[in-house]
């Protein structure tokens, strides 16, 4: 096990810089999730930590050692890929043992490690099968087993669940989290799925265009997003982000709806309200013309727009809502749960 420190990492391809001064400290045994949209640089960052991509500038330390110039095999890491990367002509047992075999680990030790990993992952019955005889979830367990037998200092996961169906993804991310806690190995997990990130990570590093937007616990990112980007990316359904004009302790929407706020706000700002923080209220300030009701079972999403406005808004209500599109509904919002962002920079205004 080992801590990981990233110092001002930059990655360029020719004159194009794709990662910009990325820094972060990952504690020993911590589960870190790097999350962001496609093309933001998260897989590139993971591959730099693994040694599969060179570092343009900056430092990567694993434990007390700077590893910039070390080959992947010398970094004591194990990586689990999106496509499993299993050898089709080998059995499960042979796939899991192969990395140890080429390191000339004694046969008895290899057998012990493979059996132990297979027991942890509940794939003991499949050791003599080949990958084509396994389901997607079973193949992913084999890929994880191949990483476990290495006893590495660090696990790296590159979108390992993206090829699985929705139900299996939920099951497998639970298995990965339980496994990481049991082994207590420092782990870095890359995903574009914010729900996956929120449920797995001790802390999340949110990347956007190669920059770190915010690095913190899932609850910190949910409760106090540092920017409009994080506010819109973290949380499902996404936060409502509305352009308003502030004056003293009141903000005004484009349809002249006014909402009192706790702190004085002046000028044009972006107001953030999470759908789950809108409450149906006969005396509420927001009059919404409902356009669609999305029934999700435990809750209902109300999609609509502010009365006399083109401003779209989403509210999340508990249980079933049986109303017709076109219905006018009133909502109020808790003043303690509002978010304010600078229109130009997108950065949080209230600290």
DSSP assignment of 58-111: EEEEETTEE-TTS-GGGTTEEEE-TT----TTS-HHHHHHHHHHHTT--HHHHH
Bridge pairing between strands 328-333 and 278-280: antiparallel
Q: What is the pLDDT of residue 351?
A: 47
pTM over 0.85: yes
The count of other CB atoms within 10 Å of the CB of residue 29 is: 16
Residue 101 has which token pair?
């075999």
Q: Running DSSP on this structure, what letter comes out for residue 227?
A: B
**Pair 172, 137: CB distance under 8 Å:** yes
**Pair 18, 11: CB distance under 8 Å:** yes
Every domain range in the chain assigned CATH 3.40.50.300: 4-232
Positions of the chain with pLDDT lower than 70, given as ranges:
1, 351
Strand order in the sheet with 186-191: 77-80, 154-158, 186-191, 31-35, 203-208, 211-216
Every domain range in the chain assigned CATH 2.40.50.140: 238-342
**Pair 10, 58: CB distance under 8 Å:** yes
Architecture category of domain 4-232 in CATH: 3-Layer(aba) Sandwich (3.40)
Residues 69-100 pLDDT 10s = 999 988 999 988 877 788 999 999 999 999 89
Q: What is the pLDDT of residue 30?
A: 96
Angle between helices 136-148 and 166-183 in degrees, nearest 10:
20
Architecture category of domain 238-342 in CATH: Beta Barrel (2.40)
Cα angle 322-326-328, degrees, rounded to a multiple of 5? 80
């Amino acid at each position: 096990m080992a801590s990981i420190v990233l110092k001002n990492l930059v990655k360029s391809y020719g004159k194009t810089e794709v990662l910009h001064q990325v820094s972060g400290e990952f504690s020993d045994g911590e589960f870190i999730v790097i999350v962001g949209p496609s093309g933001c640089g998260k897989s590139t960052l993971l591959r730099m930590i693994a040694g599969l991509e060179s570092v343009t500038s900056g430092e990567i330390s694993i434990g007390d050692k700077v590893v910039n110039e070390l080959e992947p095999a010398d970094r004591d890491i194990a990586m689990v890929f999106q496509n499993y990367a299993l050898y089709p002509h080998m059995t499960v047992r042979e796939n899991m043992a192969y990395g140890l075999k080429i390191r000339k680990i004694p046969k008895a030790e290899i057998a012990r490690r493979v059996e132990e990993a297979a027991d942890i992952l509940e794939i003991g019955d499949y050791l003599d099968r080949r990958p084509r005889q396994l389901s997607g979830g079973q193949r992913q367990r084999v890929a994880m087993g191949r990483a476990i037998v290495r006893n590495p200092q660090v696990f790296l996961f590159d979108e390992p669940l993206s090829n699985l169906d929705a139900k299996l993804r939920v099951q497998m991310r639970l298995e990965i989290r339980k496994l990481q806690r049991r082994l207590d190995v420092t782990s870095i997990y890359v995903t574009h799925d914010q729900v996956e990130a929120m449920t797995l990570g001790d802390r999340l590093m949110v990347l956007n265009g190669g920059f770190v937007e915010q690095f913190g616990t899932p609850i910190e990112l949910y409760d106090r997003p540092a920017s409009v980007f994080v506010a819109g990316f973290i949380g499902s359904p996404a936060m409502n982000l509305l352009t308003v004009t502030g004056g003293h302790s009141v903000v005004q929407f484009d349809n002249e709806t006014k909402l009192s706020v706790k702190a004085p706000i002046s000028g044009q700002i972006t107001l953030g309200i999470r759908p789950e923080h809108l409450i149906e209220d006969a005396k509420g300030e927001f009059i919404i013309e409902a356009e669609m009701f999305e029934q999700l079972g435990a809750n209902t999403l109300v999609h609509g727009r502010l009365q006399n406005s083109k401003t779209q808004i989403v509210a999340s209500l508990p249980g079933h809502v049986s109303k017709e599109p076109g219905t006018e509904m009133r909502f109020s919002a808790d003043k303690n749960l509002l978010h304010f962002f600078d229109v130009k920079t997108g950065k949080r205004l209230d600290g």
